[in-house]
Amino acid sequence: MTAMRILVVEDEPRLLRNLAKALREESYAVDTADAGDDGLYKAENYDYDAIVLDVMLPRLDGWELLARLRKQKRTPVLMLTARDATTDRVRGLDNGADDYLVKPFDLTELLARLRALIRRSAGDGRSEIELGDIALDTRSRSVTRAGEAVTLTAREYAILEYLALHRGEVVSRTTLYEHLFDENDDTLSNLVDVHVFNLRKKLGQQLIATRRGQGYCIET
Q: Tell me, what DSSP letter sits at residue 206?
A: T
Residue closer to Ca ion by CB (options 1, 79) is 79
Within 8 A by CB and 6+ apart from 202, the residues are 145, 150, 151, 152, 156
Tell me how far apart the alpha carbons of residues 24 and 69 are, in angstroms, rounded to a whole number. Answer: 24
Q: How many residues bind Ca ion (CB under 5 A)?
A: 3
Pick the stretch among 7-15, 21-29, 114-122, 144-152 that binds Ca ion (CB under 5 A): 7-15
Residue closer to Ca ion by CB (options 11, 178) is 11
Residue closer to Ca ion by CB (options 52, 117) is 52
Binding mask 167-206 toward Ca ion (x if CB under 5 A, else -) reads: ----------------------------------------
Residues in a beta bridge with 134 = 131, 145
Q: Nearest approach, Cβ of 82 to Ca ion (angstroms)?
A: 7
CA 190 from chain centre, in angstroms, equals 22
Q: Nearest approach, Cβ of 62 to Ca ion (angstroms)?
A: 8
* C-alpha torsion angle, residues 206, 212, 214, 217 (rounded to 10): 0
Interface residue with Ca ion, options 11, 61, 64, 137 (CB under 5 A):
11
Within 8 A by CB and 6+ apart from 188, the residues are none
Residue closer to Ca ion by CB (options 56, 135) is 56
Burial class, 104, CB count within 10 angstroms (exposed 0-12 / middle 13-18 / buried 19+): exposed
Binding mask 51-80 toward Ca ion (x if CB under 5 A, else -) reads: ---x-x------------------------
- Residues at the site binding Ca ion, with contacts judged by CB under 5 A: 11, 54, 56
